[in-house]
Amino acid sequence: MTSQGQTGRSPGGALLALDQGTTNTKAVLVDATTGAVTAQASSPTSIAFPAPGWVEQDAEQLWTATLTAVERCLEQAPEVRVLGIGISSQRETAVCWSRSTGRALGPALGWQDARTAAWCADLAEREPGAAATIRRRTGLSLDPMFSAPKFRAAIDAASAAGAPLSDIAVGTVDAWLLWRLTGRHVTDLGNASRTLLLDLPSLRWHDELLSLFGIDPVHLPEPCPSDASFGVTTECLGRMPAGVPVLAVLADSHAALYHHGCTVPGTGKATYGTGTSVMSPTADAGGAPHGIATTVAWHVAGRPTYAREGNIVASGSALDWMASTLGVPEGTAGGAYLEALATGVPDSGGACFVPAFSGLGAPYWDRSAVGVLSGVTAGTTRGQLARAALEAVAHQVADVVEAMESDGSTRIGTLHADGGATASGTLMQIQSDLLGRPLDVASSPAASALGAARLAAEQLGVAVPVATPGRHVTPHPCAVDDRRRAWSQAIARSRGLPVSQAHPANSEQTSQQTSQQTSEQITERNHP
Ligand SMILES: O=P(O)(O)OC[C@H](O)CO
C-alpha cells in the first residue's frame, strides 16, 4: 500500500494491519480513503533455544506483543475509526491452548524448531510411502519445520500434563490470534497449507495425513479462505472497541507476495528475513521441481492461488553471525557494518561462506550439511569475508530461483525484494547480477502487513494500487559462471559430497546416497 491513494469506494476510517513475526509484532494503520500509512508501531517478542534444535516462543507473549503494538499504533491516531483488521503472521509455528481457559498450554514451538526430526525419521522408516504421500497431497516435504509434527508433540505434552483431550486446541499463529480476537477456531488456507495436513487439491484436512501424524481433527481450526468472515473482536482492545471485523488473514510471506502484486505466474518475490522465502504464483497445485514446495498463496474471491516456494533457512541470521564474528563496533548496526566493509572490496577474493547452521533448506533440504568457510588465505580481509556473507545470501536465492525454473514451466521476469537485508545495496546488486535480471526493491519494511491491509481494504470495496517499488536494480554485465561454480563447490563441501555433485540437479541422486547414513540425515531422505 502506498501514499498514491485508492480507487473505488471510499469508506473513510482506517484499516489496522497486524504482522505477527518471529522477532516482533508490527501494527500499521492504513487510511481507507487515501491508502496512506498513517501510523505504525511494533513490539518485540522473545525467542528461546532451550536445547539443541529446540526453538520456543511464549504464546501468551505473542498475544500481548500484538496488543502492545496495536496500542502504540492507535495512540498515534486517537480519533481514528478502525473499520477492519488484516492479519499476517509467521508460519508453521505451532500453538497449543485450552479451549476452556483460553490460555496457552506450553510454549509455541517455533518454525525453526527441529525437535521432531527423529519422530519424522521414524515415520519415514515405519511408513515407507509416507514422504511421497505427503509430498503429493500437501506439496511439502516431511520436515520438522512444518506444523503437524509440532502439533503432535504439543498435544502429547499437554495431555501428559493433565489437559483433557477434548479441551486441547492447536493452530498456527494466525489461528491463535483469531481465537484471542474473535473466539473462533479458524485459520486461513495459506497458513493451513504449511501444516502438512492440508490436501492441496481439495483444500481440506485429509484423513490420510491426519492418520500419518496421529492427529484428531477435533483439535484443529477450520480452514477458511483468506478473505472469509473471520469474526469480530469480542472485547475492547485498549483504544479499539469490540465488534471490529477481521477482514483478511494471510501468512506473512504470502502477504508480502500480495503486497508486491505478484498474483500471476512469471512474477515472484524474495523476502529477506531470518531466512529467505522465494515465492512465485503457479498455475496448478502440483508438479514443482525437486526441492521446491507448492503452497496455497491465498484463497480470494472464491478461488485458490497456488505458489512455488523455496525456503532458505539462514540468510539474515548468516549476516548477523558474520557481523558479530568480525566484531561490530559498539553503536553500529551489524548490517550497516557489513555493508561498509563489503563496499570496500570488489569481490570476496575467492572466499565462500555456506551458512548451513542447521543444515540447508531449499533446494537441497539436507539437514546433515554443515557450515563452511572455504577459499580463505592468509591475505583474506574482513571486507572480503563481509562480501562472502552477502554473496552467500544471494547465491542461496539464485539456487532456489534456478530450481524453481528448472522444469521450464515458469520464469520470473523481475524479482521483487523485501525484508531487512534489502537495505544492503551491495546485496541487491549481487543478487541482480547472479540472477541476470532486474530487482524491484520494496520501499516499506512492512510488506507483509501492507499485503494484509491491501486484502482487508479490498473487502471494503477499496481497490488499492500495487505498491510502487523504492528502487529498481538492473544487472551489471559480468561473468557469473565462475562465481556460481565456486559456490556449488562450497555447497558440495558443506554436504560432504564430491564437488562434481554440487549442483541441486544432483540432489535426488545424492539424497539416495546419503540416506543410508545417520538418523540426522533423515530429512534429506524425506524429500522426494
Ligand atoms: O517471522 P518471519 O518474518 O521470520 O517469518 C517466518 C516465516 O513465516 C517462517 O516460514
Q: What is the pTM of this model?
A: 0.90
Confidence (pLDDT) at 11: 56
- Asked if the model's pLDDT at residue 504 lies above 60, the reply is no
Mean pLDDT of the chain: 90
- Asked if the model's pLDDT at residue 429 lies above 70, the reply is yes
Pairing outcome for strands 108-109 and 56-57: antiparallel
Cell, residue 53: 534444535
Ligand 1 centroid vs 362 CA: distance in angstroms? 15
Pairing outcome for strands 415-418 and 352-354: unpaired
147-160 vs 117-126: helix crossing angle, rounded to 10: 110
User: Which ligand 1 atom is the nearest neighbour of the CA of 253?
Assistant: 8
Ligand 1 centroid vs 382 CA: distance in angstroms? 30
- Asked if the model's pLDDT at residue 513 lies above 90, the reply is no
For ligand 1, atom 6, name the residue with the nearest CA. 90
The amino acid that residue 484 corresponds to is R
Ligand 1 centroid vs 345 CA: distance in angstroms? 32
Cell, residue 341: 566493509
Confidence (pLDDT) at 516: 27
- Asked if the model's pLDDT at residue 192 lies above 60, the reply is yes
Cα–Cα distance for residue pair 160/149, rounded to 1 Å:
16
For ligand 1, atom 9, name the residue with the nearest CA. 91
Cell, residue 401: 530461483
Q: What average pLDDT does the segment 271-292 reach? A: 91
Ligand 1 centroid vs 59 CA: distance in angstroms? 15
Confidence (pLDDT) at 527: 35
- Asked if the model's pLDDT at residue 6 lies above 90, the reply is no
Confidence (pLDDT) at 407: 92
Confidence (pLDDT) at 112: 87
Q: What average pLDDT does the segment 278-298 reach? A: 93
Ligand 1 centroid vs 214 CA: distance in angstroms? 26
User: Which ligand 1 atom is the nearest neighbour of the CA of 275?
Assistant: 4
Pair 96, 155: CB distance under 8 Å: yes
Confidence (pLDDT) at 468: 82
- What is the DSSP track for 394-426? HHHHHHHHHHHTTTSS---SSEEEESGGGG-HH
Dihedral (Cα; 267, 271, 277, 282), 10-degree rounding? -20
For ligand 1, atom 5, name the residue with the nearest CA. 90
Render the burial of 318-346: b for 16+ CB within 10 Å, e for the rest. Answer: bbbbbbeebebeeeeebbebbbebbeebe
Pocket test for ligand 1, best of 196, 253, 254 (most atoms within 8 A of CB): 253
Pocket test for ligand 1, best of 19, 22, 422 (most atoms within 8 A of CB): 22
> What is the DSSP code (8-state) at residue 180?
H
- Asked if the model's pLDDT at residue 154 lies above 90, the reply is yes
Pair 15, 83: CB distance under 8 Å: yes
Give percent above pLDDT 70 in the chain: 92
Q: How wide is the angle at C-alpha 214 spanned by C-alphas 208 and 219, nearest 5°?
A: 100
| pLDDT-derived band at 95, boundaries 50, 70, 90 | very high
- Asked if the model's pLDDT at residue 524 lies above 80, the reply is no
Pocket test for ligand 1, best of 111, 173, 312 (most atoms within 8 A of CB): 111
Distances in whole angstroms, Cα of residue 469 to Cα of each of 412, 418, 420, 423: 17, 10, 15, 13
Higher pLDDT, 51 or 521: 51
Question: Using one digit for the tens of pLDDT, what is the confidence trace for 174-184?
Answer: 999 999 999 99
User: Which ligand 1 atom is the nearest neighbour of the CA of 194?
Assistant: 10
Ligand 1 centroid vs 325 CA: distance in angstroms? 24
Question: Using one digit for the tens of pLDDT, what is the confidence trace for 487-498?
Answer: 999 999 999 999
| pLDDT-derived band at 503, boundaries 50, 70, 90 | low
Pairing outcome for strands 246-251 and 82-89: parallel
Pairing outcome for strands 222-224 and 204-205: unpaired
Least confident of 11-20, 210-219, 250-259, 503-512: 503-512
Confidence (pLDDT) at 2: 42
Ligand 1 centroid vs 166 CA: distance in angstroms? 30
Cβ count near 127 (within 10 Å): 15
For ligand 1, atom 3, name the residue with the nearest CA. 21
User: Which ligand 1 atom is the nearest neighbour of the CA of 23?
Assistant: 1
User: Which ligand 1 atom is the nearest neighbour of the CA of 145?
Assistant: 10
User: Which ligand 1 atom is the nearest neighbour of the CA of 448?
Assistant: 3
Confidence (pLDDT) at 506: 43
- Asked if the model's pLDDT at residue 337 lies above 60, the reply is yes
Residue 44 has φ and ψ, to the nearest 5°, of: -75, 155
Cell, residue 149: 509434527
Residue 434 has φ and ψ, to the nearest 5°, of: -65, -35
**Residue 427, C-beta contacts closer than 8 angstroms, at least 6 positions apart:** 272, 390, 393, 394, 421
Confidence (pLDDT) at 501: 63
- Asked if the model's pLDDT at residue 156 lies above 60, the reply is yes
User: Which ligand 1 atom is the nearest neighbour of the CA of 311?
Assistant: 10
Pair 348, 388: CB distance under 8 Å: yes
Q: What average pLDDT does the segment 397-415 reach? A: 95
Ligand 1 centroid vs 22 CA: distance in angstroms? 6
Ligand 1 centroid vs 174 CA: distance in angstroms? 12
| pLDDT-derived band at 457, boundaries 50, 70, 90 | very high
Ligand 1 centroid vs 119 CA: distance in angstroms? 23
**Residue 169, C-beta contacts closer than 8 angstroms, at least 6 positions apart:** 96, 97, 98, 99, 179, 185, 219, 221
Ligand 1 centroid vs 385 CA: distance in angstroms? 26
Q: Which residues, judged by CB distance below 6 Å to any ligand atom, belong to the binding site of ligand 1?
A: 21-22, 90-92, 111, 252-253, 273-274
Q: What average pLDDT does the segment 302-313 reach? A: 95
59-74 vs 173-182: helix crossing angle, rounded to 10: 60
Cα–Cα distance for residue pair 129/104, rounded to 1 Å:
35
| pLDDT-derived band at 502, boundaries 50, 70, 90 | low
Ligand 1 centroid vs 447 CA: distance in angstroms? 13
User: Which ligand 1 atom is the nearest neighbour of the CA of 274?
Assistant: 4
| Peptide linkage before 469 cis (omega within 30 of 0) | no
Cell, residue 126: 515405519
- Asked if the model's pLDDT at residue 520 lies above 90, the reply is no
